[in-house]
Amino acid sequence: SRFPVYHKTLLGGHVLAQDGDVVIGGIFSFRTGQDYVVNTFEAIPEVRNFNFREFKFAQAMIFAINEINENPDMLPGVKLGYRIYDDCGTMDILRAALALVSGLGGEVSDENCTKIESVQAILGHSGSRPTIAFAPVVGRFHVPVISHFATCACLSNRKEYPTFFRTIPSDYYQSQALAKLVKHLGWTWIGVIAVENEYGLNGIAAFIQAAQEYGVCIEYSDAFSSSGPPADLQRITSKIQSASSKVILAFMSHREIKLLAKQLYEQNVTGVQWLGSDAWITDHSLADSEGHGILVGSLGFTVSRVQIHGLEEHLRGLHPSLFPHSRFVRDFWEDVFDCSLKATATGRRKPCSGLESLRDVESPFTDVSELRFTNNVYKSVYSVAYALDALLKCEEGRGPFSNGSCANPAQIQPWQVLEYLSMVNFTTPEGERVYFDSNGDSPARYELVNLQITNRGTMEEVTVGIYDASQPGSQQFIMSDTPLVWGTGHSEVPVSVCSESCPPGSHKVLQKGLPVCCYDCIRCPAGEISNSTDSIHCMKCAPEFWSNERRDACIPKEIEFLTYGEILGTLLASFSLLGVFLTTLTTIVFYCHKETPLVRANNSELSFLLLFSLTLCFLCSLTFIGRPTQWSCMLRHTAFGITFVLCISCVLGKTILVLMAFKASLPGSNLMKWFGPTQQRLCVVSFTLIQVVICILWLTISPPFPFKNMILYRDRIILECQLGSALGFWAVLGYVGVLAGLCFVIAFLGRKLPDNFNEAKIITFSMLIFCAVWIAFVPAYISSPGKFTVAVEIFAILASSYGLLFCIFMPKCFIILFMPEKNTKKHMFRKSTNNR
């Protein structure tokens, strides 16, 4: 018969059974226990709640087995049977598993002592904790265990659970998917709460490890059990209230999340974004629990939703007459139709009419719109069927056992089914590929669901994305365009961070004693940048670059040199041109009065040469202004050295001439013939030629060159002329100083000459100014930074040039222009006579 028979057992539960050539076992929990209830043994305990989902799992198993039995292409000539236990509690589930393995499910008597009904595989259980308890025990008998809902990553340990398989992905992949989701949504500061068992603790351990790889920090992690004391739940509630994180991952079952939601609802805790594990995120019973509104907006991963054709008809065809001895079916039927199956009405319920039918009822049991974990049961049955089919169709010599042998179809052993089960690989009618890896795990493919309030006013899950671990890393997680509802009640993605992101231009500095997600944002130092958000370090700019004001980009350093456009450059250039103008004006005055006694008495040839050299001195200062180039660097120093030597040589010639003229005016002296015009010219040319030789040697050996000074200032480049050879520079400058000192000494010796030869006094004063300027120049030049070094050099050139111009030529110009009566031979002769 295709209809099952319901048997009583001695295990504290009941069994649904159907005979067959090969029997598959199943363990489910049709009832859910009450929380925080301690039996006093003074009254009959309350009836446990109905778990419609578990009963649907069992019916899906029966449906799949009947479907296979009716399929002539699969297991021809072999009928599958089943034995399904309904038990709660780990110990009862363990007893049920041992009964399935031993085949002794009922009382042992003389009539049935030889009847063994052992199974070839066990489907279940839904919970990780019971599965962890009985799977290693069953494994010792080499009986395959295939779970549709036990997701604990610990079950992938082949040494501990050698015969365990599952058609649901391991929590390892779920933890990876949740960590990717948290990272994708920008949450770096979250809380984690788990059920206090292997499922919860292993789940959060895997999640924390994966989350830390993505830079996510855990503010707190805690665990509690639905059977634990209320103080644990109160402690967790207080922790949630005082926490700063707004996102909480709940790795638990529907029992624990209901308790937690109720507690938070009573404490009026809102504004929390929940992340749920697959054990509760799609549980329909949440909508009937108190405080479930807190869970609206929750996000979580769950297995894909499919349609199983024919299952709805099977479920709606359920009737108590099919299970006359099933107390659960009787209680289920009475609860759905609010009637009593007893002949007389009891309590508040009237007798059932017998016309009741599930075909007209909408309930979680008959709802097939969200077949997710039910499909895993369906795939589990087919996995065993395909393994048995391959075993029966084995060709001798090509089998998986020793010497290519095959199993004996008349005496199939569980360990043989186990061997074929590990090689199962088929595709469901919906296109889903089913196989198991070396750890017994199935491919990891999830749907991301969001709990939303629908138009009907009920809380339902809406698919908003997918996660497929078999795809490349960047394509594993894909969000759809479906609008999301957030648990915080806002339309935008909630923010849950310990510290706000550090913008470009700053870097993170960890706060002492806190996780890496808690940090301060410190502005990058000058010269360093960060061009991305949440930079850990600031990068130094290249030597020729500097950070911008925002510290998020390196820009070329400002190149600094003395230019005509700036005030200092304009002033120096103006004074230089003014000096040229005054020198030219003086030259014109002297030229127009070249026949006068005053001009002729001061050696007009040397005077004009001196004026010409002063003009060159004023002009050479202009070569120091502007962008330094290879040619300008060589020109500025050599032009300065040569023109100043020419200038000082002329002054030295005039000084010597004054002394010679005085000595020649004495009776019996003929010195002037030794220092005539030819000797004067030769003296100037000789002194100047020595400087020219020094400059040629300098330019030949190691000439000046433009140089980018990046040491003086960090934020800008000083473009200056590097001396090349410091010895050459100081030789040029030292030679000028020697001539100036010599000129000063000679002029000082002639300071007491008669008034008509008082040019020696003027030269003495001018040389005093000249030497003072250049002596002060040396420390100022060494200590001045950047372009001010050039400014000091120009200032020294101009100051010394103006000193010579004003001291030597201005008094003479004043007499020529404003006191012409003194510019006569008679006046000069009378003055000379008086002095004698």
3-class SS at 447?
strand
- How far CA 262 is from CA of 49, 256, 289, 661, 705, in Å, comes to 18, 10, 8, 122, 83
The reported pLDDT for the residue numbered 550 is: 92
Q: How buried is 472 (Cβ within 10 angstroms: 0-12 exposed, 13-18 middle, 19+ buried)?
A: exposed
Express each pLDDT in 230-269 by its tens digit. Answer: 899 999 999 999 999 999 999 998 889 999 999 999 999 9
Q: How far apart are CA 613 and CA 345, in angstroms?
A: 136
Distances (CA, A) of 148 to 27, 45, 345, 380, 592: 11, 31, 40, 7, 120
Would you say residue 278 has pLDDT above 70? yes
What is the Cα–Cα distance from 163 to 182, expressed in whole angstroms? Answer: 34
Query: Hey, what's the torsion of the CAs at 707, 711, 717, 722, to 10 degrees?
Result: -20
- What's at 244, amino acid-wise? S
Average pLDDT, the chain: 85
Residue 660: band (very low, low, confident or very high) from pLDDT cuts 50, 70, 90: low
**pTM score over 0.75:** no
pLDDT value at 106 more than 70: no
CA distance 602 to 591: 13
pLDDT tier at 62, thresholds 50, 70, 90? very high
Query: What average pLDDT score do residues 369-373 get?
Result: 87
Instruction: Name the packing angle between helices 630-664 and 787-804 (round to 10°).
Output: 20
> Exposed, middle or buried, 103 (CB in 10 Å: 0-12/13-18/19+)?
middle
pLDDT recorded at residue 821: 79
With beta carbons less than 8 A apart as the criterion, state whether 615 and 580 touch. yes
Residues 6+ apart with CB under 8 A from 504: 529, 530, 531, 532, 533, 535, 550, 551, 552
Cβ neighbours, 10 Å, residue 66? 18
Is there a contact between 203 and 152 (Cβ–Cβ < 8 Å)?
yes
- Report how far residue 442's alpha carbon sits from residue 84's, in angstroms, rounded to the nearest whole number: 23
Sign of the Cα pseudo-torsion (429, 430, 431, 433, in order): negative
- d(CA 103, CA 106) in angstroms, rounded, equals 9
Range name among 315-324, 522-531, 656-665, 673-682 with the lowest pLDDT average: 656-665
The answer to whether the beta carbons of residues 450 and 297 sit under 8 Å apart is yes
How large is the average pLDDT for residues 356-380? 90
Indicate the pLDDT class of residue 381, thresholds 50, 70 and 90.
Answer: very high
Contact 620/640 with Cβ under 8 angstroms? yes
pLDDT value of residue 289: 82
DSSP string, 610-624: HHHHHHHHHHHGGGG
Mean pLDDT value of segment 525-541: 91
Q: Please, are residues 28 and 55 in contact by the beta-carbon 8 Å criterion?
A: yes
Smallest CA-to-CA distance from 520 within 494, 497, 543, 499 is with 499
Q: Could you give the CA distance from residue 335 to residue 361 in angstroms, rounded to a whole number?
A: 12
The rounded distance, in Å, linking the Cα atoms of 272 and 275 is 10
List of E strands, 364-494:
425-427, 433-435, 445-453, 459-468, 477-479
The two tokens of residue 11 are 């295990």
Q: Which fold has domain 171-302+444-479?
A: Rossmann fold (3.40.50)
The whole-angstrom separation of Cα 226 and Cα 254 is 10
* Residues 156 and 60 sit within 8 Å (Cβ to Cβ): no
Which string of DSSP letters, residue by residue, matches 132-188?
A: HHHHHHHHTTT--EEESS---GGGG-TTT-TTEEESS--HHHHHHHHHHHHHHTT--
What whole-number distance in Å separates Cα of residue 590 and Cα of residue 584? 10
On whether the CB atoms of residues 654 and 759 are closer than 8 A, the answer is: yes
Between residues 429 and 219, which one has the greater pLDDT? Answer: 219
CA distance 595 to 503: 82
Res. 375 pLDDT band, cuts 50 70 90: very high
Identify the pLDDT of residue 137: 94
Q: What is the pLDDT of residues 698-714, one digit of tens each?
A: 999 999 989 888 888 88
CATH architecture of 567-666+673-824: Up-down Bundle (1.20)
Q: Rounded to whole angstroms, how far apart are CA atoms 222 and 196?
A: 9
CA distance 606 to 646: 11
What single-letter DSSP state applies at residue 29?
Answer: -
- By three-state DSSP, how is residue 355 classified? coil
pLDDT digits (tens, 9 = 90+) for 171-225: 999 999 999 999 999 899 999 999 998 889 999 999 999 999 998 999 999 999 9
Instruction: Provide mean pLDDT across the span 122-138.
Output: 92
Element of type H or E holding 584: helix 567-592
10 confidence band (pLDDT: 50, 70, 90):
very low
* Domain spans, the chain: 6-34+46-107+115-169+308-318+358-395+403-435, 171-302+444-479, 506-556, 567-666+673-824
Quick one: tokens of 730? 């100081």
Mean pLDDT calculated for residue range 380-388: 96
Task: Provide long-range contacts, Cβ within 8 A and 24+ apart, for 563-566.
Answer: 563/625, 563/626, 563/627, 564/625, 564/626
On the question of pLDDT at 509 being above 90, the answer is yes
What pLDDT, in 10s, does the model give residues 321-340?
A: 887 777 788 888 888 888 88
Residues 6+ apart with CB under 8 A from 369: none
- pLDDT the model gives residue 35: 43
Check if 171-302+444-479 and 567-666+673-824 are the same fold.
Answer: no
Tell me the longest C-alpha to C-alpha distance in the chain.
172
14 vs 26: CA distance, rounded Å: 12
- The one-character DSSP state at 795 is H
Which residues fall within 8 angstroms of residue 528, CB to CB, at 6 or more apart?
Answer: 538, 539, 540, 541, 547, 551
The half-sphere exposure of 217 on its side-chain side, counting CA atoms within 13 A, is 16
Q: Are strands 506-510 and 519-523 parallel, antiparallel or unpaired?
A: antiparallel
Per DSSP bridges, beta strands 273-276 and 299-303 are parallel
The residues facing 725 across adjacent strands are none
Tell me if 569 sits within 8 A of 625, measured CB to CB: yes
Q: Greater confidence, 811 or 537?
A: 537
3-state secondary structure of 451: strand
In a 10 Å sphere around its CB, with 0-12 CB exposed, 13-18 middle and 19+ buried, how is residue 664 labelled? middle
Pairing mode, strands 31-32 and 49-50? antiparallel
Out of 3.40.50.300, 2.40.110.20, 3.40.50.1220, 3.40.50.2300, select the CATH number for domain 6-34+46-107+115-169+308-318+358-395+403-435: 3.40.50.2300
- 487: tokens are 């648990």
HSE on the CB side for 317, CA within 13 Å?
Answer: 11
Residue 641 reports pLDDT greater than 50: yes
SS3 content of the chain, % helix, strand, coil (to 5): 45, 15, 40
- Enumerate the H helices of 665-717 as residue ranges: 677-701
Could you tell me how many residues make up the chain? Answer: 836
Q: Which amino acid type is present at position 801?
A: S
> Could you give the angle at which helices 198-213 and 171-184 cross, rounded to 10 degrees?
40
Distance of CA 127 to CAs 151, 173, 278, Å?
8, 18, 12
Q: Which residues does 384 contact at the CB level (< 8 Å), separation at least 6?
A: 24, 120, 121, 123, 144, 146, 417, 421
